[in-house]
Structure 1
């Protein structure tokens, strides 16, 4: 048994969620040792036909079937909830009440039950009943506007940040916070996780840097103009001679100094934002071109070899397959982000 399995051992979670956000959250809880009872409708979770996705999100869970239109089945579900520690759902607001699974009802049945609802836009307000998916939550939160290519055009990430960062991660935090309060206070809570609001909370850097850079640029930073979206030579992605890419993340001056040593360009050391070379300046733009030209003169493998022992925050941009095969990920499961330190 994995040493992680003892961390949440004894915690029982009834999972009514489907698709990606909720199942990924409860999958993380399962990795930490929680017992997950996955409740599916007669037609099954929508990811079942996708095979590998369903397995990645739900292996290790106990799957049970409930017809939410039948009172006998709902009664069985309430029996499970009477002894559970947590219930996670992803219904639209109002559905739990219609099913007789609202907080007052379940709290009377099990005062220690923690309920976590994952919604698109929150429990209240004119948007509460609107349907949506990751792309919509990204769009409405302002996050999608930050995901642009250097020419300013929008791009669609193949990592579902609304579902996973705004939904799964926030829901997992809510579950653990709710369980902690039960241990301390002896009563459960109903916590709502709005994926759109969760995403908005992640706009820490662009909201902060916009205040810093707007007076310098004369406008709010756009694509390729902000500190962390391509405005800096020391924090950028550069194309190599073989069409691959090198990620230069030497944000601090000490790392940039190390990178310049490997680049063989000591004259670049003080051309850094911490030495006053800010995004939008002529020197900043010129240096980006100079770095791009140098990186483009060699293949990715050449740069990887030369940066192998440098403490410079410079890495290759790996494909998903390359990442999976990299020694960095040896011994890790599909979604496991943790290990126990000996």
Structure 2
């Protein structure tokens, strides 16, 4: 079945967005909108977006946009911005609460010139409350949301991710959802609205599985599951990261029994098949932990290339852990016919 990226790139054709945001969360949000066909005016201060000195990052976040600069301290420049907003569908900003109002760009004033305007403000901690005026970055939003505490090695050390989940999952993606929902509502009712996206709350909203499994395992453990104690963070033999002989890692994601059975066939260990959580082996039990050690010992006997080749034809949810550069060169991502996460089929 073929995919049609041209069809997807035109889905938002005609949508007009004025983007006042800077750095990562807002620009990544509007870049996704641009990839889907929206027209983006990127409004920058006289000195430019802070990401401009990081050329490749700026290009990745802002391709397909029209960049314009204004001085937000000059009334005439703000008047020019208001003219752009008269015909806009969306305005995106990342200012601290109260800054837009101080410039005469609050929603109550802007809806007077454009009743259908949907404003989406991406903030760290929300528009109201004791934390609303605090500065922050991805690391802070992840830390305060409880999400960062979930990113631990089995030995307990915190991992500092180089993917900005608070900015992008808690901010950019949530803002995209809000924009599309806001536009849908504005088209039906004829009036816009102001939507606030709190990145800390957005990151916290992603703790669906840890919250659920904590309810299940805390009574058994006597405490909420920690590093290596939860269903998907290192407890199960069938769902884990294992070191190979050359210091690389194999991702075993055989969570369901049918995939574990397929993995055991590749491992040539039929005696492991029934030792699965869906066959009654309790997570965290001595038997569970012993099997996990046995799987680790077997995988450690061979380099990653060996296991990658063995599992290539197997329907077992087992894959090599690729570096970023290996992933870019892999046929899955190197195929020029597939450059976006979405495609029409």
Q: Please tell me the TM-score bracket, short chain as reference.
A: over 0.9
Helix, strand or coil at the partner of 2:43: strand
- Map of 2:130 onto structure 1: 126
Contact 1:213 / 1:221 at 8 angstroms: preserved in 2? yes
Distance change in 2, residues 1:158/1:207 (3 Å)? same
Alignment of 1:80-91 (within 5 A): 80-91=84-95
Helix, strand or coil at the partner of 1:278: coil
Task: Return the offset for 1:333.
Answer: 7.6
- Map of 1:65 onto structure 2: 69
Helix, strand or coil at the partner of 1:154: coil
Task: Return the offset for 1:6.
Answer: 1.4
- Map of 1:300 onto structure 2: 304
Number of matched pairs: 340
Moved more, 180-189 or 60-69: 180-189
- Map of 1:190 onto structure 2: 194
Distance change in 2, residues 1:124/1:333 (3 Å)? farther
TM, length-normalised to structure 2: 0.97
Helix, strand or coil at the partner of 1:187: coil
Task: Return the offset for 1:273.
Answer: 1.1
Alignment of 1:228-267 (within 5 A): 228-267=232-271
What CA deviation, in whole Å up to 9, does each residue of 1:6-33 have, x standing for no partner?
Answer: 1000000000000000000000000000
TM, length-normalised to structure 1: 0.98
Match of 2:28 among 24, 27, 34: 24
Distance in 1 (alpha carbons) for counterparts of 2:316 and 2:28: 33
Matched, 1:168 2:172: yes
Contact 1:232 / 1:278 at 8 angstroms: preserved in 2? no
Distance in 2 (alpha carbons) for counterparts of 1:281 and 1:196: 35
What CA deviation, in whole Å up to 9, does each residue of 1:272-320 have, x standing for no partner?
Answer: 1112222221011101100001101111111111111111000000000
What CA deviation, in whole Å up to 9, does each residue of 1:117-163 have, x standing for no partner?
Answer: 00000000000000000000000000011011111111110000000
What CA deviation, in whole Å up to 9, does each residue of 1:205-225 have, x standing for no partner?
Answer: 000001111122222111001
Contact 1:134 / 1:161 at 8 angstroms: preserved in 2? yes
Matched, 1:50 2:54: yes
Consecutive unaligned residues in structure 1, runs of 5 or more? none
- Map of 1:96 onto structure 2: 100
- Map of 1:331 onto structure 2: 336
Distance change in 2, residues 1:31/1:333 (3 Å)? farther
Helix, strand or coil at the partner of 1:228: helix
Consecutive unaligned residues in structure 2, runs of 5 or more? none
Helix, strand or coil at the partner of 1:80: helix
